[in-house]
Amino acid sequence: MINKEAKLSKKIFQKDIEMIPTRQGYGEGLVAVGEKDERVVVLCADVTESTRSILFKERFPERFIEVGVAEQALATIAAGMANYGKIPFISSYAAFSPGRNWEQIRTTIALNDVPVKIAGAHAGISVGPDGATHQMLEDMALMRAMPNMTVIAPCDSLEAKKATVAAAKTEHPVYIRFAREKSPVFTTEDTPFKIGRAEVLWGPSTISGRHGDPLVAIVACGPLVYEALLAAKELEKKGIDVLVLNSHTLKPLDEQAIIRAAKTTGAVVTVEEHQITGGLGGAVAETLARNYPTPMEFVGMPDHFGESGAPDELLEKYGMKSKSIVEAVKRVIVKKEKNG
């Protein structure tokens, strides 16, 4: 059953569900924070329209800076502005920021712990025809290893807007990743969002350990949370109850929610549009290895670069659609049963 407390869209499984890219929520979030705080400035690296930074530029042109194709300068200029009291958001494709300017982010932003907010757009395999060079699948691993850095992967455009607004209020660096393609808007304005807190979207309203609890916990982030929900519905038809946890914040990870889910179910599947190594799956595995070793399966990019193709075809080929999540759940149940 869907957790009523999560307040998901009533059209969650309908064909006419609204489709909006998460980057649109970023642009709307920029305008929202810009209206409330004059310290907010936005810098972009020649992709103003596609990152949706254009919404801020049109509303506050005097607080917008077009840096051009110079991602290293993008990071260092923003760090300087943050040191003088501004709240800079820097926008580019994730392949170039943090892909190209990781060292500048590390040295000028994270090391100095200044409140620059880094927006990595067009992340994941669903960038599609742009091919492997632009399909950033390592960004969350890069940024999760960075001291002082918060890492967020919103599940839909509404959550992306909330994440952008929340990031502006923090006093530390934040990395937020966004997708290029339109994806289902399945949360609502009232769906809870807090940096560092995972939300149960499918399953019991509380993880209490009562009789009848789900067999598997699916921990997902980004737009693939929707694929996890589709898998949960399909598994329900087969008599397999699961819990779906939206772990939008990879760092700081909601470790207590992960541990509770593992104790309740005894098996975990992680789902992400990212390399399996070092991303959400790695973060969850590290937490459980330290606190509550649990059988696991990982859905994500299996140590490959991408290729050109239609987004859905690529997600299907590399095993990130709901069908693959269902199979991962079945595999981890077998592991769980073998462990007794």
Domain ranges of the chain: 4-12+190-338, 19-184
> 10-residue block means of pLDDT along the chain (340 residues)?
69 94 98 98 97 98 97 98 98 98 98 98 95 97 98 98 98 97 96 96 62 84 98 94 97 98 96 97 98 98 96 97 98 91
pLDDT at position 74: 98
Q: Which residues pair with 21 in a beta bridge?
A: 182
Catalytic sites, residue numbers: 71
Q: How far is CA 198 from CA 128, 233, 252, 256, in A?
A: 29, 20, 10, 9
Cα 285 to Cα 282: distance, rounded to the nearest angstrom: 5
Q: What's the rounded Cα separation, in Å, for the pair 237 and 129?
A: 35
What integer pLDDT is reported at residue 206 of this predicted model?
47
pTM of the model: 0.95
**Total Cβ atoms within 10 A of residue 41:** 21
What architecture is domain 4-12+190-338? 3-Layer(aba) Sandwich (3.40)
Give the pLDDT confidence score for residue 200 in this predicted structure: 94
Q: What is the CATH number of domain 19-184?
A: 3.40.50.970
pLDDT at 263: 96
Distance between CA 254 and CA 12 in Å, rounded?
25
CB 66 within 8 A of CB 42: no
Per-residue pLDDT, 203 = 87
For residue 129, the 8-state DSSP code is: G
Question: Per the structure block, which two tokens stand in for 301?
Answer: 């990019």
The secondary element (H helix, E strand) that includes residue 268 is strand 268-275
- Determine the pLDDT at residue 339: 83
Q: Which of helix, strand or coil describes residue 83?
A: helix
Neighbours of 317 (CB within 10 A): 14
- Report the pLDDT value the prediction gives residue 320, as an integer from 0 to 100: 98
